[in-house]
Structure 1
């Protein structure tokens, strides 16, 4: 089987996760590509953009939004892991996800990740508006393992 481009980018995120000191287990959450279960209590959706320059635009189909919504409604800890080329990985928690995306939408939604200056933090905007704070590059993967 050929190695696809998405496998490399998803692998970048998954490698950082499995190397974290709190990591115990990685499983597929369901049949969706990019939907994983970490340590039996955290669900992640991994998406990537291969372009090297900021901003990175991530589109979410109605089907992808449905998957996120199902996990949130079930009470799962949910994160989006957005792989931004070979530059950085941005992790969004459920509060940040619902600030940026209308997870009940039946039409495509979007998130833009922008690094405004060299080594600057990430600024995010989405279909519903802007995140009111930046996200540091070193938040991933620690954010996935922090206690509630």
Structure 2
């Protein structure tokens, strides 16, 4: 069986977390990864080589995120091809992309040696996101 491109990107993101020594347990609860039984990681990837990287959240994904946010903390990992991962809390996501009945486009921008800027249809995340935030997700 062939390995899906998504598995490569998710595997790389999870590898970074595991190597940072913050993961004691990892479960898969489709489509979330449950980290240490307390954080739901939702991963999206873009294969674009350079900034900006685009991510689409369907109406169904928006509903699912909203439902699961009532249960546990959600961290959205926006995998920007081989560049790195922009980590966005569900609260930050809502500040830039209020739920809609249609798909939402979110974009990550990053200049060389700088942090990520994440924007959506309702604005920009208030702070820049360090590429190392993903590795400190469970700290």
TM bucket (normalised to shorter chain) is over 0.9
Q: Where does structure 2 lack aligned partners over 5 or more consecutive residues?
A: none
- Aligned residue in 2 for 1:111: 106
- Aligned partners of 1:91 and 1:141 also within 8 Å: no
- 1:80-91 pair list within 5 angstroms: 80-91=76-87
1:107 is displaced (CA, Å) by: 0.8
- 1:55-134 pair list within 5 angstroms: 55-74=52-71, 76-103=72-99, 105-115=100-110, 117-134=111-128
Distance (Å, rounded) in 2 between the aligned partners of 1:138 and 1:108 = 29
- 1:13-52 pair list within 5 angstroms: 13-29=13-29, 31-32=30-31, 35-52=32-49
TM-score when normalising by structure 2: 0.94
TM-score when normalising by structure 1: 0.88
The number of aligned residues is 139
Which consecutive segments of 4 or more residues in structure 1 shift more than 3 A?
A: none
1:36-81 deviation digits (Å, cap 9, x = unpaired): 111101001001001111000100001111111011123x110100
Q: Where does structure 1 lack aligned partners over 5 or more consecutive residues?
A: none
1:132 is displaced (CA, Å) by: 2.1
Distance (Å, rounded) in 2 between the aligned partners of 1:36 and 1:127 = 26
Q: Say which structure, 1 or 2, has more relative contact order (CA 8 Å, 6+ apart).
A: 2
Cα root mean square deviation, aligned: 1.2
Distance (Å, rounded) in 2 between the aligned partners of 1:8 and 1:23 = 19
